[in-house]
Structure 1
Amino acid sequence: MDAGFFTLNFRPMKLFKSIILAVGMLSVFPFAQAQDSPAQGSLDMHLQVKNMHLWRGYAVTEAPMTGLNVAYINPSKTFKVGVWGGAGFNGDYREFDYYVAYNKGGFKFEVWDIFNFSPGMPTKLFDYDQKTTSHFIDVTLGYQFGKSFPLYLSASTIVYGRDLESIPSSLPGVGPRLGDNRYSTYVHAEYPVCNYNGYDLKLYLGGAFALAGQTQNFYASKSNIVATGFVVSKSLTIGSYTIPVSATALWNPELNSGNIQLAVDLF
C-alpha cells in the first residue's frame, strides 16, 4: 500500500470505532463457544456497591453508586475482555467502559475505553472526535513483585480522547476542546503492610504529569502527587456467603482534599 495514501486517509475516530467493534466480537465469540466446554474459558459477573466512587485522586461521584463488571476470562486466566458500568443512586453519575486485560508472570497490560456520560457530559456513545467526545482511551502497564517483596507498580497513559489542552470554561466537559493531546500519565505504587485480626492493610501513592510536556494534565494543574492513603479490607462471612468489604482513605495534595470510600462486593 502506498504510504502517502495511508497517511491521507487514516482517521483516529474510525480506528477506535473499529477497535470497539473488535472488542465486542471478542466478547461474544468465546461466550458462544464456552457454553458446553469449560476449557474454552469462563464468564464472570461482579457487582459492587460504594458510598462514593474514588478514582486516581478524584471523587468521581460523592453519591452512593453501583459498579457492574461483566467479562470473559480465557482458560489460563491470563486474558480478560469485558464491560464495566457505574451509576450513581441520585442520577448524577453514569459511566460505561470497555476493556481488555492481559496478566502473566506479574506483568499486567490493560486498555480501557472510558465513557463518562454523566449529566453535563456529551452522551453520544460512538462520538470519537477528540474535540467533542466523552471517551478517553487509557493504557496501563503494571508489574506485581513476588511474595517476599509484594510491591505493585503501574503507569497509565491517556493516549486518545478528551485529554486536550483547553476546554472552554463556559462549556465544561462539552467542548469543542482545543490544543494538543497531553498524554496525561498516572503512576501508582501500592504495598501491603500487614494482616491483623483478618484485616488487610495496604498503602498507596499516585502521581500525575503530562507526558507531552504541558503544565496541566488530566488529573492536576501541574505535575504533582494526586493520591495517597491506605486501604483496609476484610472478608465478612454471613451464613454460607463471603462478602469482601474495603475502606479506602484518600488524600489529594494537589486538590487539597480528602475522602473515604466504603466498597462492598455483593458477588
Structure 2
Amino acid sequence: MTRHFIILLLLFCSLHTYGQLHFNANLQTNHLWRGIEVADGLVITSDLNYTFLNGLVNVGFWGGTNSIGSYKEFNNHLSFNYGRFSLAFWDTYNFSPGASYNNREFFNYKANSTGRFLDAIASYRFNESFPLFLSWSTIVFGRDRNETNTSNKYSTFCYAEYPLFKQNKWCVESGIGGVFALNGSGSKSNFYGDTYGIVHVALKVTYDFKVGSYCMPLYFCGVWNPQSDRAFMQVGVQLFSF
C-alpha cells in the first residue's frame, strides 16, 4: 500500500500544471488534537506539501517531535479541494517510544497489527458573510479496532468552528467537536474515549506579529474535554510559511 502511495505521489508531482510547493513550521508548548494532548513539552511541527491541477489536489507530509524525544510522528496526507468543499485522507503514524501499540513497523498495513490509522475527512466552509466551518472525520483503517481485534470501530469526530472576532491583526475562533463509533457493536467506546459525546471545546486567539514585512502569527489556544474532565493550554508561533 505504501509503494502504491509513493507511485501516486510521483505521478501527482509530475502533473505540475499550476503546481506550487508549500512548507511551514510551528513551535508550540504541546500538541493538541481532538480533545487529546498528544504530546507535552516544546513541540515543533512541520508540513511539506504540493498543490497542483489548479489547486484541486494537494499531497504532502506532516511531522512532529518534541524537545525530549518522547513524541515522534510522521504522516502522509492527500486532499481534493473544490470550492469550499474538501475531502482529505490522513495516513497517521505516531511512533513515539512509549506507545502501547506497534510503533516499530512504518510499512505495516495489516489491519490487525498496524500502528497507523487512516482518517477520512470531509469538510465545508461557508462564505465570508457566514464563515462557519464544518467537518466529519471517520477512521476507516488501522488501530481503531474492537476488543477482539476483528473489525474496525469507524470512530467518528464531528467538528464545527466559527470566528467570533476578526479585526486588524487579531482573530478569535471557537470550536466544538463530538465523537461516536459507527460500528460500536454494542459498545460506546471509540478511538477518543470510553463513550460518545463532546470531547473538544476550543477557544483560539491569534495575533499576526510582524517583523518588517515578515509575519509570524502568535496564537493561544485553550481546549476543554468535558468527557475526560480535562483542560489544556497551548501557546505557539508559526515560524515560517511559504
Aligned mate of 2:6, from 24, 41, 53: 24
More helix by share: 1
| CA deviation after TM superposition for structure 1 residue 40, in Å | 4.0
In structure 2, how many angstroms separate the alpha carbons of the residues matched to 1:238 and 1:248?
A: 23
The separation in 2 between residues aligned to 1:130 and 1:26, in whole angstroms, is: 21
Aligned pair partner of 1:163 in 144, 166, 184:
144
**Identity score, percent:** 34
Aligned match of 2:62? 84
1:181 corresponds to: 152
Match of 1:203 among 152, 174, 199: 174
- Per-residue deviation at 1:196? 4.6
Q: Is the 8 A contact 1:26 1:81 kept in 2?
A: no
Distance change in 2, residues 1:194/1:45 (3 Å) = same
Q: Output the CA distance in 2 between the equivalents of 1:260 and 1:75.
A: 38
Greater strand share, 1 or 2?
A: 2
Distance 1:45 1:180, change over 3 A: same
Is structure 2 residue 232 aligned with structure 1 residue 254?
Answer: no
> How many residues get paired?
235
Q: Distance in 2 between matches of 1:150 and 1:197?
A: 17
Counterpart Cα distance in 2 of 1:30 and 1:109: 16
Letter in 1 for 2:38: V
Report Cα offsets for 1:80-116 as digits up to 9, x if no partner: 0011111111111000100101122211100010001
- Taking structure 2 as the reference length, the TM-score comes to 0.91
Per-residue CA deviations over 1:215-241 (Å, capped at 9, x if unaligned) read 100001100100002111121101231
In the alignment, which residue of structure 1 is the partner of 2:111?
Answer: 130
Q: Distance in 2 between matches of 1:26 and 1:179?
A: 30
The answer to whether residue 163 in structure 2 is matched with residue 192 in structure 1 is: yes
* CA apart distance, 1:48: 1.2
RMSD: 1.6
Q: Equivalents in 2 of 1:151, 1:115: separation in Å? A: 30
Q: Within 1, Cα distance between the matches of 2:27 and 2:45?
A: 6
Equivalent residues of 1:27, 1:72 under 8 A apart: no
Matched, 1:53 2:31: yes
Q: C-alpha distance in 2, partners of 1:45/1:198?
A: 22
Q: Which runs of no fewer than 5 residues in structure 1 stay unpaired?
A: 1-16, 167-176
Structure 1 residues 56-84: Cα deviation after superposition (integer angstroms, max 9, x where no partner): 00000011111111111115222100111
List alignment gaps of at least 5 residues for structure 2. Answer: none
| Residue 143 of structure 1: aligned partner | 124
Whole-Å separation in 1 of the counterparts to 2:221 and 2:150 = 35
Match of 1:237 in 2: 210
Q: Which has the larger radius of gyration?
A: 1
SS of residue matched to 1:180: coil
- The answer on whether the counterparts of 1:27 and 1:71 sit within 8 Å (CA) in structure 2 is no
How many angstroms apart in 2 are the aligned matches of 1:186 and 1:76?
A: 30
**Matched residue type, 1:120:** G
Distance (whole Å) between structure 1 residues aligned to residue 30 and residue 209 of structure 2: 20
Q: Is the 8 A contact 2:28 2:234 kept in 1?
A: yes
What residue is the counterpart of 1:99 in the other structure? 77
Q: Using CA pairs below 8 Å that are at least 6 residues apart, which structure has the higher relative contact order?
A: 2
- The answer on whether the counterparts of 1:84 and 1:96 sit within 8 Å (CA) in structure 2 is yes
How many angstroms does 1:257 deviate by?
Answer: 0.4
Alpha-carbon shift at residue 49 of structure 1 (Å): 1.1
